[in-house]
Amino acid sequence: MQLSGKVALVTGAGHRLGRAIALALAREGCDLMVHFHRSSEAAEQTAHAISGLGVRAVPVQADLTDSEGVHHLFAAVDTAFGGVDLLVNSAAILEQIDLLDATEDDWQRTVGLSLKGAFFTLQQAAKRMRSRGGGAIVNISDTAAHRPWQRFPLHSVSKAGLEMLTQVAAYRLAPEIRVNAVVPGPTLKPNWMPETRWQQITRETPLRSAVEPDDVASAVIFLMKNDYITGHIMRVDAGTLLG
């Protein structure tokens, strides 16, 4: 697939990994819907940076844990661009919550965004892609989908579900729409994590390094472009899952 001239929606595009992916798509010539929830200033800065690359960028706020938020997002997509060709489900939340202490509100924040939100965003995007002759979707997963993180049970559950959604959707939406996922390793230290702990995590990967956001973005671009890959879970994890 040639990406130039396509309309791309990246959820959680205001900052961190979502921003890197949105900018990579802009460099390929895509117009962007820059989704954010609370990071309005970061989203405006991302949209400004994208516009500087000679393509259109429209920031849009939406709470994807709520069906009304998903419908609001796609109303904005339709108004701005008349549809969408590419989707990256990148929005996620990482909260440390003990399995026995987790509440329904905790579930809604984490699983409601990373899995439920991704499901209904994919659903709405796919309907529009089919009317435009096809498209491509990439979901951003995590090594937690493959190796349970006992301090982050809801995150682990949501990402494991996201990978199954990837494969079910790839099967259902073929041949018009391809659906794949990328599994980043340690990429961008969480704000709450001590630097010493982050250095320990990255040193323990087989490649002894964190993964650069641009390398994850490159994997997304590769999966978007290749017309013969669907249902694939691509690891860009510095070898984290080898051990």
Sheet holding 31-36, edge to edge: 57-61, 31-36, 7-10, 86-89, 135-140, 177-184, 233-236
What was the pLDDT predicted at 243?
Answer: 76
Task: Give the DSSP per-residue string, 24-87.
Answer: HHHHTT-EEEEEESS-HHHHHHHHHHHHTTTS-EEEEE--TTSHHHHHHHHHHHHHHHSS-SEE
Q: Residue 8 is encoded by which pair of tokens?
A: 């791309």
Q: Which domains does the chain have, with CATH numbers?
A: 7-242 (3.40.50.720)
Residues 49-80: tens digit of each pLDDT: 999 999 999 999 999 999 999 999 999 999 99
Q: Residue 150 is encoded by which pair of tokens?
A: 């006992």
Residues of the chain with pLDDT under 50: none
Q: Residue 243 is encoded by which pair of tokens?
A: 């051990």
CA distance 172 to 125: 14
The model's pTM is 0.97
What are the beta bridge partners of residue 235? 183
